[in-house]
Amino acid sequence: AKAEMLIRRPVAETFAAFIDPDLTTKFWFTKSSGPVVQGKQLQWEWEMYNASTPVTVKAVDANKRILIEWSGPDEPNTVEWVFTPLSDDRTFVTITNSGFHGDAASQIQQAIDSTEAFAMVLAGAKALLEHNLILNLVADRFPAGLPSA
């Protein structure tokens, strides 16, 4: 599953938004047990959904790449961020989630859900970094009070 977006900010600033929980909590998860540092074990929480996931930080290449392993519905899978500077003030961010498990239908659904979720994460990061806006995209994806499907 892949989501990509241009963010009109320098690569160092864009990269920082994904490793510094003080920034990341403005557009993605609500709590983290610490910053994204290679070799660290973290816990990310989405308090509005009473959900959390353990995260193992596999690699951090400053301003270039982040690689994590986190819990999937059945087994762990990996997420990789690649930061490509296009100029001094433009960064192209690619997020790839891979290693889905289960039968074909389950893997397809996981890929669809992941692509949707990471597209919202990138849009939220873009709004924050380019316009200092907090859009609450992830928080508002599944509002309380909706009838169950």
Q: Could you report the per-residue pLDDT of 17-50, keeping only the tens digit for each?
A: 999 999 999 999 999 999 999 999 999 999 999 9
Measured in whole angstroms, the distance separating CA 111 from the mean position of its chain's CA atoms is 14
Contact assessment for residue 80 and residue 95, using Cβ atoms and an 8 Å cutoff: yes
Q: How confident is the model at residue 143 (pLDDT cuts 50, 70, 90)?
A: confident
d(CA 76, CA 53): 10
* pTM for this entry: 0.93
d(CA 117, CA 72): 14
Alpha helices in 3-103 (DSSP H): 11-19, 21-24
E-assigned strands of the chain? 2-7, 31-32, 41-46, 51-61, 65-70, 77-87, 90-98
Q: Is the model's pLDDT at 147 over the cut of 90?
A: no
